Chain A
């Protein structure tokens, strides 16, 4: 999920509301709307990923590498003997 911030201020709301949270916190970057702070991604989701810019990188992003180390000793053949009936 890519989260981007907009720092534009909607002055219209200032006429009617007293804000107790920072202005940016009312902006929902997914739907690009202002409103209820409980809609913000970090409030609603367990994990939020931020896009890291080049400043935060030691090197360009590397490919995803998956290496599987599998034990194939006699035990591996004996462990987990089971039958599935469908």
Chain B
């Protein structure tokens, strides 16, 4: 008979992502100056201020509406990227709390384009590495992609062209390369996600 000591239920990638990152914080390459930051997004952009060292708590800031162009400015000058060894406890609290924050989230949209521009602004001075985890096709401008699977015209044939449909991500990638930002894209989609276009995002990267 097999005895199960410990049964753990995971719901959503967010939980496992946070667990794994929590375990591997020590093995992130870099010296004592290593900085870490998080931005999450659905139809809005959520920023996290992790700089509170006294209480070990973090603040969430939400850019409510993308018409006001949140990519043009950052809500605070510092605190979005924190030195890992100084704010270690805050980062750990954050990773423990993050899956609980969004477990009842019913937003289905995704503003990837804006979030990427904000990431570029955040890392513009130093360069760095942007790790993106995306679960659906981005559907909010800028960078919205067509959700319909391209069909081969009227006759209902198989799609004939599998090429990028927008050069938004290509331009973003070239901008990133010029300011020393490397980018990783992880896709966890269950539906059509237009990989041909999204992958342009890390075609042109130049690793620092």
Contact = CB atoms under 8 A, between A and B. Distances in A.
Given A67-B128, A72-B102, A77 B136 contact: no
Interface stretch (A5-13, A18-26, A38-46, A78-86): A78-86
A39 to B, nearest CB: 26
B38 A68 contact: yes
A76 B74 CA distance: 25
Contacts of B73: none
B131 A67 contact: yes
B177 interface: no
B107 A80 contact: no
B37 A67 contact: yes
Nearest to B116: A69
Interface size class of B (residues with CB under 8 A): 35 or more
B123 A67 contact: yes
Contacts of A76: 12-14, 102, 105, 133, 135, 188
Main SS of the interface on chain A? Answer: mixed
A69 B115 contact: yes
Interface in A51-86: 62-86
A75 B115 CA distance: 17
B164 to A, nearest CB: 20
Given A84-B8, A85-B4, A68 B33 contact: no
Interface string B60-81: 0000000000000000000001
Given A71-B110, A72-B41, A77-B102, A63 B122 contact: no
Contacts of A85: 4, 6-8
A23 to B, nearest CB: 33
A56 to B, nearest CB: 13
Given A67-B39, A70-B133, A71-B136, A79 B81 contact: no
Interface in B7-63: 7-14, 16-17, 21, 28-31, 33-43, 46
A70 B35 contact: no
A83 B9 CA distance: 5
Interface of A: 62-86
6 closest A-B pairs by beta carbon, nearest first, are A65-B128, A64-B30, A63-B33, A77-B12, A73-B42, A75-B135
